[in-house]
Amino acid sequence: MPPQKRMTIHDHAAESSLFKRRALFTFVCVIALISVLLANLYHLQIKRFSDYSTRSNENRIRVVPVAPSRGLIYDRHGQLLAENRPFYSLQVLPEKTKNLDDSLLKLKTVIDLSDEEIELFKESLKYHRRFKQLALKSRLTPEQVAEFTVNQHRFPGIFIEAGLKRYYPHSDALTHVLGYVGKINQKDQAQLEQNEQWINYAATRDIGKQGIEKYYESLLHGIPGHLEEEVNNRGRTIRTLASTPPEPGQDIYLTLDLELQKKAIELLAGRRGSVVAIDPRDGGILALVSSPSYDPNQFVHGISGKSYSALLNNTSRPLINRATQGQYAPASTIKPLMALAGLEGNVVEERTRIWDPGFWQIPNVDHKYRDWYRWGHGWVDVHDAIIHSCDTYFYELAYKLGITKISTFMEPFGFGENSGIDIFEEVSGNLPSKDWKRLKYNQSWWRGDTVNIGIGQGYWTATPIQLAKATSIIANRGNRFVPHLLKSIKDETTKIDSPIDELPPIVLKNQHNWEIVNDSMFRTANKIRFKNSPYKVAMKTGTAQVVSIAQDEKYDAKNISEKYRDNALIVAYAPYEAPTIVLAIVIENAGWGGENAGPVAKSLLDEYLLRPNLEAQP
């Protein structure tokens, strides 16, 4: 009997229900996905339209920063001290140069490219961003520009750029005042980024490194502009869409008198030393000379390692600004101030006399402090002590005052602190005290230390700018001004004078003491040096020991190495009745102050006071 077939019974209702559920689920998923798609389309094309439109424009529009021209620097009479000159440089964009080493080798056959320039470029490249261009060679000649232009197709990523570079027409005459500009290095970049100023230097490769250039960088630099260029997908410029011109830096006028500055350099004649001239009426610097100097133009385009090493290792230290960083024993130039301290402290009176046998001794001590005049000056009062620079008088005066009273009295005259001049390169010198010696050497202050301070020797050191400032206060009978170099600022439309920073005056217990000291300085000047001068002068010379001389030895410059000979100093002001110029001069290792620094002071005063008046230009 054949097997019977199995019968399948379909449940149409169940299958229909299952199909409907699956269809509904699929429909819901499709709707959900379409909703997500529509939501994304809405987000991208409506809500984020501006954002993505801007991104698209950034790919199509390139913003190119344009460097501003640097402000010019003039002296008080409108003579140009720092300008901008056109130049051509060879620039490299590292990311667009496939084989840089090979390109550099080929370049040597096209233009005069030295091995030193290549090494300097490679060293700078280590700290440089590859998408920013870097100068390979500056100051190309017209012949080099023409030669490279013909061969430029062989060097992708290398091109010639025209621009303006700083130039100092007076070379080394103003280096320590103006300073110089140089290439922005890694340290400069970090400082700009920290101060959130990097955006202002996007098109600038130079920045002030020293002097006025650095101190007034914010005024001189200017504000960059920009170009909006439309580019294709290869980065080529199609057209310029818009431009914003840069705002040039502001021109500044200094208080300097260029002719007086040049005269001071001429008179120093390459000797190590410094000249500072101040207008006591407002504290304006008329001359600020440090000798020897160097040409700042070599730093503008990048100084070679060999040239910089030569400057750095020069025994005359031309890189140091002796006017503000040179620390010297003030010697006898501070005797008028010591006399003023004694008069104010009631230690001496105008007619108090002491006997000078040529030496002085601390009571019950055998050591003799010698006077420069070995036979002594006999009976001397305060006038005689200043006029004849009697050491013995000031030994005793300092001993009676004590170091605490001396240092306290000298502080308002600017010793032991920065003068406030508007350049960063300055030191404070040293106004010694008991606490200073304890902190410095962990030693007690001895009476002999005070005696040496009385004649401006020992631990006391001062800079020429401090000596000029202190002498200005004497000439002004206590009125004080902060020394400054900036006279006025000029932009495209206006010229604004810089405010004068006047300090509270020094008021003495007895104002007549000013006249005593000034009269003594006047009589000192007119005794010999300025006896027949057409104008009246007050002055005080100084001869500062560089090394100590033993008790039983005699100073003989001929038998002493030049670097150990005495420094020559002088402070002076004129005209005596209404001073318009104060001088402080230091000539290192020159010997006697009156004989060596005195003629320099006289020539400078003649140059300033006897020439025709020059009116400052607008």
Can you read off the two tokens belonging to residue 320?
């140091």
- 371 belongs to an annotated ligand binding site: yes
Enumerate residues 6+ apart whose C-beta is below 8 A from 479. Answer: 473, 502, 505
Secondary structure of 445-476 in the HEC alphabet? CCHHHHHHHCCCCCCCEECHHHHHHHHHHHHC
Sign of CA dihedral 371, 376, 381, 384: negative
- Mapped onto helix, strand or coil, the DSSP state of residue 386 is helix
Taking the C-alpha atoms of residue 151 and residue 155, their distance in angstroms, rounded to an integer, is 8
Let me know: does 135 contact 91? Beta carbons within 8 Å.
Answer: yes
| Burial (Cβ within 10 Å: 0-12, 13-18, ≥19) of residue 477 | middle
Judge whether 295 is annotated as a binding position: no
Cβ atoms of residues 36 and 213 within 8 Å: no
Long-range Cβ pairs for the range 372-376 (8 Å, 24+): 372/543
Return the bridge partners of 65, or none: 226
> Phi and psi for 25 in degrees, rounded to 5?
-65, -45
Distance CA 590, CA 15 (A): 120
Of the candidates 567, 548, 578, the one whose C-alpha atom is nearest the C-alpha of residue 272 is: 567
Q: What is the dihedral of CA 358, 547, 593, 343, to 10 degrees?
A: -60
Rounded CA separation 362/380 (Å): 19
Dihedral angle sign, alpha carbons of residues 137, 138, 139, 145? positive
Distances (CA, A) of 518 to 246, 410, 538, 583: 54, 17, 7, 15
Residue 471 CA, distance from chain mean position: 24
Is 332 known to be catalytic?
yes
Rounding to the nearest 10 degrees, give the CA dihedral for residues 81, 84, 86, 92: 120
Query: What's the CA gap between 206 and 519, in Å, rounded?
Result: 51
Of 251, 285, 294, 289, nearest to 267 (Cα)? 289
Phi/psi at 2 (nearest 5 deg)?
-65, 150
CA distances from 410 to 53, 282, 389, 506 (A): 69, 21, 19, 11
Structure tokens at 220: 């001189």
CB atoms within 10 A of CB 290: 28
Q: Are 66 and 224 in contact (CB under 8 A)?
A: yes
Pairing outcome for strands 73-74 and 251-254: parallel
Amino acid at site 468: A
DSSP conformation class of 412: G
Q: Nearest Cα to 243, choosing from 258, 252, 230, 262? A: 230
* Catalytic residue from among 274, 290, 332, 419: 332
Cα–Cα distance for residue pair 422/485, rounded to 1 Å:
6
Which residues are designated catalytic?
332
Binding-site residue positions = 356, 371, 377, 390
Binding-site residue positions for Zn(2+) = 356, 371, 377, 390
